[in-house]
A and B are shown apart, each in its own frame.
Chain A
Amino acid sequence: MEILAVLGIPLLGGLVLGLVGDRRWAPELNAAASFATLLAAAALTARVIASGPVTAFDEQFFVDPFNVFLVALTAFVGFTTSLFSRPYMRTEEHDGRLSPARLRLYHGMYQLFSFTMLLTLLTNNVGIMWVAMEGATLSTVLLVSLYRTPASLEAAWKYFILCSVGIAQALFGTILLYFAAEKVLGPGGTALLWTHLHEVRGELEPTVVSLAFVFLLVGYGTKVGLVPLHNWLPDAHAEGPTPVSAVLSGLLLNVALYAVVRSKVLVDGALETGFSGNLMMGFGLVSVVVAAFFLSRQKDIKRMFAYSSVEHMGIMTFAFGMGGPVAAFAALLHMTVHSLTKSAIFFTVGHAAHATGTQNMDSIRGLMRQSPAIGWGLAIGTLAILGMPPFGVFTSEFMVLTTAMHQHWWATPFLLVALGVAFAAVFSKVQPMVFGEPAARPLPHPPALVPVFVHLAIVLMLGLYIPPYLVDWYRQAAALIG
């Protein structure tokens, strides 16, 4: 079974790498496990696209076009990040920043983190979804503090406490949802299965469900990084190893948003008002605006791009909140291009920080001269994430903006101003880092730039031409979200 392989490979890989993660060939084993996961995910995707939604193992797992798209994306970025992590972690080892025990921890937890994210996506049980989401926090918290510096410990503690408290709210929301479902479906296992909840969503008690959604949105929204629950996000991104920042931004935030959207579908069915959508639009818009204004105040390059992630998650939340086929399509496309572009940016940022020995943007200079590939990667990635045509981010942002003009005209000025402010802030900071006099050293291990340019090429392609099967796939998924 493909589902078993998708979940089993990273779980097994995590356990094995926990034991042998400090060997010389461990980074390759890590990449191989991620590649095997990707193959399994591709097989699963092919089957779901061909034959429609499937449930498996007593309906405990459920795959439809919406989550299989995220499974494929997660497996893909998980694999490319493992390729980037090879030279990155070797350089860290070379510089004496990591002991063998910490390398074991890193490699083991990397795979377990993939496992928890894939479990969150594939499970049909909203209770297990919560458990897996908390598991994703637990598996990354020790990675954020991997260097054991005071700042990284502080970041990890903040991440741990804020996300655990946040996700405790989501558990209360899940309990309320179960309470509403139990009235209709009767007690026992089936009352938490999403497919069953989906069937009876019209009969769920509206007051309970709306209260449940508030708790679920606040809980999972903490992990999405929605303002004002975003405090952990820039710290965790800045202090952890860069491959971890890449998967946090590129994958974990998406998975958390997936949990919110799944809840929204149920709530919309029960309420038949715009309650959940309005709430999400509000949170999304505030996140976009606040994050855009924080961008210009950053000094640390990883912090700046972390705020950029908050901004983009805000755009997606806003788009999902608007609802309708076009907005949902745009949000799904934005999920894809954002996670590809942002992880590519973090790959180049990781190499740039190694080459210059700092994450402080004032000290990173002249990347283009020292290492043209890293310089171009950062420059192109930045233009892509800022929504320049012809990249895919432009396409999705354009769709969000036009839909907003039709449905909620009042929101467009906020979005436009925020995008403009973000452009000015990020571009003015990246430009001197890329050009200018070099301050870089040669890297002890050749940088992994193939993943960067593969990601950016896909984003470019999605901006110019979205293949018909992908359009069809997004449409199916958008129809499910409604």
Chain B
Amino acid sequence: MPDSLPGQLVNLLAALLLLIAFAMLSQRRVLSLVRLFAWQGVALAASTLIVAHTTGQTHLYVSAGITIALKVILIPWVLHRAIDKLDVRWDVETLINIPTTMLAGIALVIFAFALATPISQMASTITRSTLGIALASVLLSFLMMIVRRKAIPQVIGFLAMENGLLFAATSATYGMPLVVELGVALDVLVATFIFGIFFFHIREQFDSLDIGHMEKLKED
């Protein structure tokens, strides 16, 4: 079945997801990062919709709806507002060693595929080949959180990680039960607002959103 049209479309969207994850890793402008994040949400929702349509799993429509409402509209809007209010619209982050980071990212992708291959062979879903990609984008977001020194990109990394996890859930199992997905969505929503509050508190205390300033609590 992977050769069917829906299967190929999902594969295409999965590749897009991975590409966006790499783009985020090297994107220096915060506004572009938010835009990339929103596009990642679009790709995720589209692939969920295709899976929902081909398999007739109605709860996946709800899941796709939540993704669009939350990841494409609400969270990018909240982030935009925060960026406007904090006046960091034109912030450009100096990223050192983009090539090294990229190489590390490629290594992570290979690792993710090696880890996911035995599992995806067991899966019977049309989307099983994408489990490796899902795990890879989770790990890439993780890498992004490690290399970034500013608060907003770190948070976008966290949210992108959530995207990767949701994609893993759809590709391996046709999505988690609805009650769990709703709960996860609620957590993400609350987390986004708390992060938003944090931006302002951090800025107020440190005059900057650079996490590098926050290294006082070290072991003596």
Contact = CB atoms under 8 A, between A and B. Distances in A.
Contact of B173 (A168, A187, A294): A187
Interface string B169-199: 1001110110110011011001100110110
A74 B186 CA distance: 24
Given A138-B187, A151-B216, A175 B165 contact: yes
Interface residues of B, number: 47
Interface in B135-187: 135, 138, 142, 145, 151, 154, 158, 161-162, 165, 168-169, 172-174, 176-177, 179-180, 183-184, 186-187
Nearest to B146: A165
A205 B123 CA distance: 11
B95 interface: no
Interface string A107-127: 000000000000000000101
Nearest to B124: A183
A218 to B, nearest CB: 12
B194 A153 contact: no
B61 to A, nearest CB: 15
A319 interface: no
Nearest to B118: A207
Contacts of A138: 187, 190-191, 194
Contact of A142 (B179, B197, B214): B197
B19 interface: no
A178 B115 CA distance: 17
Contacts of B176: 127, 174-175, 178, 192
Given A164-B158, A211-B119, A145 B201 contact: yes
A138 B162 CA distance: 16
Given A141-B194, A172-B165, A148 B187 contact: no
B179 A179 contact: no
Contacts of A205: 122
Contacts of A179: 119, 123, 172-173
B179 A128 contact: yes
B111 interface: no
A138 B186 CA distance: 11
Interface stretch (A2-10, A154-162, A387-395): A154-162
Interface residues of A, number: 52
A155 B217 contact: yes
Given A153-B205, A165-B161, A160 B216 contact: no
Contacts of A156: 198
Interface in B83-112: none
B177 A151 contact: no
A60 to B, nearest CB: 8
A148 B216 CA distance: 15
B211 to A, nearest CB: 7
Interface in A165-180: 165, 168, 171-172, 174-176, 178-179
A297 B219 CA distance: 8
A299 interface: yes
Contacts of B138: 168, 172
Contacts of B202: 153, 157
A55 to B, nearest CB: 16
Contact of A154 (B161, B177, B216): B216
Nearest to B219: A297
B63 to A, nearest CB: 13
B78 to A, nearest CB: 16
B162 A150 contact: no
A331 to B, nearest CB: 29
A154 B214 contact: yes
A192 B145 contact: no
Given A154-B214, A175-B168, A187-B174, A161 B145 contact: yes
B77 interface: no
Interface string A264-298: 00000000000000000000000000000010011
Contacts of A298: 220
20 contacts: A128-B179, A132-B183, A138-B194, A153-B201, A153-B206, A154-B216, A161-B145, A165-B145, A168-B138, A174-B176, A175-B165, A175-B172, A175-B173, A176-B172, A178-B169, A178-B176, A179-B123, A182-B173, A183-B122, A189-B179
Interface of B: 57, 115, 118-119, 122-123, 135, 138, 142, 145, 151, 154, 158, 161-162, 165, 168-169, 172-174, 176-177, 179-180, 183-184, 186-187, 190-191, 194-195, 197-198, 201-202, 204-206, 211, 214-217, 219-220
Q: Which 10 pairs between the two chains have the least Cβ-Cβ distance?
A: A127-B180, A131-B183, A154-B214, A134-B187, A179-B172, A189-B177, A175-B169, A179-B173, A150-B205, A235-B217
Given A153-B214, A168-B138, 6 more contacts: A150-B205, A160-B194, A160-B195, A165-B161, A175-B172, A208-B122
